[in-house]
Amino acid sequence: MEIRWRRLRRGALACTTVALVLTTSGCFLQDPNAGGGGSGGPGGSGFADGGTADKDKEVTILGVPGGDEAKGLLASLKTFEDETGIKVKYTSDRDFETTIKTRVSAGDTPDIGLFPAPGSLLEMAGKGVIQPIDTYLDFDELDRSLIPGFLEAVRRNGRVYGVPVKMAVKGLVWYPKAAYTKAGYSTDPKTLTDLTATTDKIKGSKVSPWCMSWGSDQATGWVGTDWIEDYVLRMYGPDTYDDWVAHRIKFNDPKIVKAFDEFGKIAKGRGEVYGDAKGVLNTPFADAMNPAFAAGGPKCMLMHQADFAATFLPKPVQADLDNQVGLFVFPQFPGGFAGQAIVGGGDNAALFNGNDPDAIKVMKFLASKEWGKEWAQAGGWLSPHRDFDQSNYPNETTKRIAQVASTADVLRFDGSDLMPKEVGSGTFWTGMVEWLQGKSSQQVTTEIENSWPAAKSSS
């Protein structure tokens, strides 16, 4: 095996000396600036020749999901393995992004990587080690099946390099159904003005409207970034959102500053959030809604969080989810984008071993609407396919969330996951903490702007 890795590393070095090479040994590296292929079907030439031995009926996958998520992933592969005779060896790594960079540098990649953020996937595509999906999948068929927005997140210079295998739906507002409906609060506010009227009524009952916790060790602050993304998309629509994420407008553009200020009416508003800023930052994000189910009655009513919030609600609530919780989508901003906008996320599979028919078969399965049924049935997983059989979801709450995503007018991938790592999982996170602790929107957004890799000292 080590001999093979030395061969691959030598071949990779040889290929980098030209823009587009197909050598007699079969080594191919896709030109990161190549166009075309974005809307074509299967075909194309060449391959990214990483991964393990070809045609050995064994495919290695590296990803983040562990614990129950890994069990669901493996269960969803069992029938495929039995039918094809291909054995999938999955490894979970919580530090996936660091590990995959190290392994790419060493010429020791898995056959397939499950990337939690498009940014690092596209970085690898730029190195020429990821196979474009149009060379082995029917792109148009996949595009028709998926909820719009996912493939755009993993497109580089006209080609797409990843396949979404797991969806997260963000911008949901959860509430304790019994107490909330008994009080007669609106379960379907159409605009933020309607929602504010509801939260004012909640405050009048001496209960804090919002349950909010951001604690996540070194990642504390990511919860706040989801809020900002929701505001930017709802206030200004997808074009401005895309410009912001791609840095075609500055992070401290007046529109983004205003989005921070608007969120500040909740996060920094008097009586809006249960607990002070210190409590919000020091309480684990998974415990955010626990006060809504306090024995003496709710201490707060509403939680803004993604679909995966269901997996960390109190156990008795999870066991009776449909009766215990209700939810609605964070509403439209008055005068903002008129349609239903959703911020989403998810994991994308990418092929390092484009010369292995076994790895390609696995990728085709991961790209199909059949993938994930067993994981869905176990709970905690959503398909990115509009035509996925929703009877596989274990409860009506999950089915409703899937319906929200599949019927949205606009879906955009989580902005911080698309930004450079220095910002998206760096200064954006830490900036949200500093903002909640008292820094102004202008100051924080300017500091984040100045941290953008290509923009230091430019603003």
DSSP assignment of 183-225, as one string? TT--SS--BHHHHHHHHHHHHHTT-EEE----B-GGGTTHHHH
How many Cβ atoms sit within 10 Å of the Cβ of residue 127?
16
Distances (CA, A) of 170 to 173, 303, 345: 9, 12, 8
Q: What whole-number distance in Å separates Cα of residue 299 and Cα of residue 211?
A: 8
Count how many residues are written for the chain: 459
Q: What whole-number distance in Å separates Cα of residue 128 and Cα of residue 352?
A: 9
Distances (CA, A) of 69 to 56, 379, 411, 444: 27, 9, 24, 35
Query: What pLDDT, on the 0 to 100 scale, is given for residue 39?
Result: 34
Query: What pLDDT, on the 0 to 100 scale, is given for residue 455?
Result: 55
- 140 phi, psi to nearest 5 deg: -65, -40
Q: What whole-number distance in Å separates Cα of residue 393 and Cα of residue 148?
A: 21
According to DSSP, the residues that pair with 351 across neighbouring strands are: 112
Q: What whole-number distance in Å separates Cα of residue 21 and Cα of residue 220?
A: 44
User: pLDDT of 110-156, one tens digit each?
Assistant: 999 999 989 899 999 999 999 999 999 999 999 999 998 899 999 99
Q: Are 337 and 237 within 8 A, CB to CB?
A: yes
Low-confidence ranges of the chain (pLDDT < 50): 1-46, 457-459
**What is the β-pairing status of strands 112-115 and 163-169?**
unpaired
- Specify the CATH superfamily of domain 60-165+347-389: Periplasmic binding protein-like II (3.40.190.10)
Q: What whole-number distance in Å separates Cα of residue 357 and Cα of residue 383?
A: 25
**What predicted TM-score, i.e. pTM, was given to this entire model?**
0.85
Q: What whole-number distance in Å separates Cα of residue 264 and Cα of residue 441?
A: 9
- Can you tell me whether residue 23 is helix, strand or coil? coil
* Residue among 349, 391, 380, 386 at smallest CA distance from 367: 349
How many Cβ atoms sit within 10 Å of the Cβ of residue 378?
16
Q: What whole-number distance in Å separates Cα of residue 426 and Cα of residue 424?
A: 6
According to DSSP, the residues that pair with 60 across neighbouring strands are: 89
* Residue among 225, 228, 198 at smallest CA distance from 210: 198
Q: What whole-number distance in Å separates Cα of residue 123 and Cα of residue 121?
A: 5
Select 172-343+415-451's CATH number: 3.40.50.12500, 3.40.190.10, 3.40.50.2300, 3.40.1410.10: 3.40.190.10
Cβ within 8 Å of residue 322, ≥6 positions away: 395, 396, 397
**What is the β-pairing status of strands 300-305 and 172-176?**
antiparallel
Q: What whole-number distance in Å separates Cα of residue 21 and Cα of residue 30?
A: 8
CATH fold match for the domains 60-165+347-389 and 172-343+415-451: yes
Residues of 154-175 as b/e, b for ≥16 C-beta within 10 angstroms? bbbbebbbbbbbbbbbbbbbbb
For tokens 């215990």, name the residue: 324
* Residue among 301, 300, 303, 229 at smallest CA distance from 263: 229
Q: Delimit the domains of the chain by residue range.
A: 1-30, 60-165+347-389, 172-343+415-451
Q: Up-side HSE of residue 152: CA atoms within 13 Å toward CB?
A: 14
Which tokens belong to 136? Answer: 């082995």
- 347 phi, psi to nearest 5 deg: -95, 145
Q: What whole-number distance in Å separates Cα of residue 323 and Cα of residue 319?
A: 9
Q: Are 223 and 214 within 8 A, CB to CB?
A: yes
Query: What pLDDT, on the 0 to 100 scale, is given for residue 148?
Result: 87
